[in-house]
Chain A
Amino acid sequence: GDSVTQMEGPVTLSEEAFLTINCTYTATGYPSLFWYVQYPGEGLQLLLKATKADDKGSNKGFEATYRKETTSFHLEKGSVQVSDSAVYFCALSDPTQGGSEKLVFGKGTKLTVNP
């Protein structure tokens, strides 16, 4: 079945550092890819998404590019802030797996940004 693998955390950075969180996926079809973020004490919210190969999703200074050749969707930000401290989840939805509605999540990466 489909699966998502993202880098183990936790990740601790200083403010203004560069962030990369790696995400790779396995899917039989042509999935859509997502990054969700969970701030402390809250539910998940969509950070960005890409629906086809070579698409770049971006939001709040974060970017991720859908790379079909490497089956990857790495999350990057050039300069992190303390307010970016959260848990980040990579996810996919694959319409060939019995319904495009279902999301498959990675295990999450906790990011802490220190002042």
Chain B
Amino acid sequence: DVKVTQSSRYLVKRTGEKVFLECVQDMDHENMFWYRQDPGLGLRLIYFSYDVKMKEKGDIPEGYSVSREKKERFSLILESASTNQTSMYLCASLPGTAYNEQFFGPGTRLTVL
């Protein structure tokens, strides 16, 4: 079974802190994604990566950056956390073939105080 793990289930940070959310997948998938999930807004794509060191902006990249130094790991970085970044963050991975399902991690609920 494909496994996507995220470093924390719950995280509490203070405004202005630098925050790292880590995601690891064990199936050698080319593509990885970061979403945020908010009530009434569904899932919105922040960034995605289709190869090591490659990244593309999604729909809401402002205030975020990403890093993919190894194929299995995709990190989301909040350079200076703000209260409006309080949300559920979901990581997903996808094989290179079109039309396959994305595999999701359990999510990290981030609260910024």
Residues of A within 8 A of B (CB): 32, 34, 36, 41-46, 49, 51, 89, 93, 95, 99-103, 105-108
Contact A43 B105 (CB under 8 A): yes
Task: Closest A residue to B38 by CB, please name it.
Answer: A107
Residues of B within 8 A of A100 (CB): 98-99
Complex Cα gap A71–B107 (Å)? 31
Looking at the assembled complex, report how far the CB atom of B55 sits from the nearest CB atom of chain A, in whole angstroms.
13
Known: A43-B105, A93-B98, A101-B98. 17 other contacts (CB 8 A): A32-B99, A34-B101, A42-B106, A43-B90, A45-B104, A49-B99, A95-B98, A99-B50, A100-B99, A101-B50, A102-B58, A103-B45, A105-B42, A105-B43, A107-B40, A108-B42, A108-B43
* Tally of B interface residues using CB under 8 Å: 22
Contact B42 A103 (CB under 8 A): no
28 contacts between A and B (CB under 8 A): A32-B98, A32-B99, A34-B101, A42-B106, A43-B4, A43-B104, A43-B105, A43-B106, A44-B43, A45-B104, A46-B102, A49-B99, A89-B42, A89-B43, A93-B99, A100-B98, A100-B99, A101-B31, A101-B48, A102-B45, A103-B43, A103-B102, A105-B42, A105-B43, A105-B44, A107-B41, A107-B42, A108-B42
Question: How many CB-defined contacts (below 8 Å) exist between A and B?
Answer: 52
Of A36, A42, A89, A101, the most chain B CB neighbours within 10 A belong to A101
Task: Closest B residue to A48 by CB, please name it.
Answer: B101
Pairs A-B, 6 closest by C-beta atoms: A43-B104, A107-B42, A100-B98, A46-B101, A44-B104, A105-B43
Contact B42 A51 (CB under 8 A): no
Residues of B within 8 A of A (CB): 4, 31, 40-45, 48, 50, 58, 90, 92, 94, 98-99, 101-102, 104-107
Task: Closest B residue to A101 by CB, please name it.
Answer: B31
